[in-house]
Amino acid sequence: MSDTTELGKTPLTALNARIGGKMVDFAGYEMPVQFPEGVMKEHLHTRAKAGLFDVGHMGQVILRAKSGKVEDAALALERLVPVDVLGLKPGRQRYGLFTDQNGGILDDLMFANRGDHLFLVVNAACKAQDIAHLRKHLSGDFEIEELTDRGLIALQGPAAEKALAKLNPDVAAMAFMDVKDVTLAGASCIVSRSGYSGEDGYEISVPAEQAVELTEALLADPDVHPIGLGARDSLRLEAGLCLYGNDIDTTTTPVAAALEWAVQKVRRAGGARAGGFPGADVILPEFERGASRRRVGLAPEGRAPVRGGAVLFADETASEPVGMVTSGGFGPSVDRPVAMGHVATSLSEPGTRLYAEVRGKRLPVTVATLPFITPRYKRA
Q: Is the pLDDT of residue 80 over 90?
A: yes
Q: Which CATH number is 158's domain given?
A: 3.30.1360.120
| Residue at a domain's end among 289, 308, 331 | 289
Q: Is the pLDDT of residue 180 over 70?
A: yes
Question: What per-residue confidence (pLDDT) applies to 2?
Answer: 45
Question: What per-residue confidence (pLDDT) applies to 4?
Answer: 54
| pLDDT tens-digit series, residues 267-306 | 999 999 999 999 999 999 999 999 999 999 999 999 999 9
Q: Based on the fold, state whether residues 358 and 328 are members of the same structural domain.
A: yes
Question: What per-residue confidence (pLDDT) applies to 150?
Answer: 98
Q: Based on the fold, state whether residues 87 and 230 are members of the same structural domain.
A: yes
Q: Based on the fold, state whether residues 233 and 320 are members of the same structural domain.
A: no
Residue 326 lies in a domain: yes
Q: Based on the fold, state whether residues 146 and 278 are members of the same structural domain.
A: yes
Closest CA to 296 of 204, 372, 357: 372
Q: Is the pLDDT of residue 3 over 60?
A: no
| Residue at a domain's end among 289, 322, 346 | 289
Question: What per-residue confidence (pLDDT) applies to 1?
Answer: 44
| Residue at a domain's end among 273, 289, 305 | 289
Which amino acid would we find at residue 42?
E
Q: Is the pLDDT of residue 49 over 70?
A: yes
The count of other CB atoms within 10 Å of the CB of residue 22 is: 17
Summary mean pLDDT of the chain: 97
Q: Is the pLDDT of residue 310 over 80?
A: yes
Q: Is the pLDDT of residue 77 over 90?
A: yes
Q: Based on the fold, state whether residues 53 and 197 are members of the same structural domain.
A: yes
Residue 18 lies in a domain: no
| pLDDT tens-digit series, residues 112-165 | 999 999 999 999 999 999 999 999 999 889 999 999 999 999 999 999 999 999
What mean pLDDT do residues 175-189 have? Answer: 98
Q: Based on the fold, state whether residues 162 and 297 are members of the same structural domain.
A: no
Q: Based on the fold, state whether residues 344 and 282 are members of the same structural domain.
A: no
What mean pLDDT do residues 44-60 have? Answer: 98
Q: Whole domain around residue 67: which residue ranges?
A: 33-289
Q: Based on the fold, state whether residues 107 and 62 are members of the same structural domain.
A: yes
Q: Is the pLDDT of residue 69 over 50?
A: yes
Q: Based on the fold, state whether residues 210 and 246 are members of the same structural domain.
A: yes
Burial of 252 (0-12, 13-18, 19+ CB in 10 A): buried
Q: Based on the fold, state whether residues 179 and 280 are members of the same structural domain.
A: yes
Q: Can you give the chain as a three-state secondary structure string?
A: CCCCCCCECCCCHHHHHHCCCEEEEECCEEEEEECCCCHHHHHHHHHHCEEEEECCCCEEEEEEECCCCHHHHHHHHCCCCCCCCCCCCCCEEEEEEEECCCCCEEEEEEEEECCCCEEEEECHHHHHHHHHHHHHHCCCCEEEEECCCEEEEEEECCCHHHHHHCCCHHHHHCCCCEEEEEEECCEEEEEECCCCCCCCEEEEEEEHHHHHHHHHHHHCCCCEEECCHHHHHHHHHHCCCCCECCCECCCCCCCCCCCHHHCCHHHCCCCCCCCCCCCHHHHHHHHHHCCCEEEEEEEECCCCCCCCCCEEECCCCCCCCCEEEEEEEEECCCCEEEEEEEEEHHHCCCCCEEEEEECCEEEEEEEECCCCCCCCCCCC
Residue 184 lies in a domain: yes
Q: Which CATH number is 331's domain given?
A: 2.40.30.110
Q: Based on the fold, state whether residues 263 and 359 are members of the same structural domain.
A: no
Q: How many domains does the chain have?
A: 2
Q: Based on the fold, state whether residues 354 and 263 are members of the same structural domain.
A: no
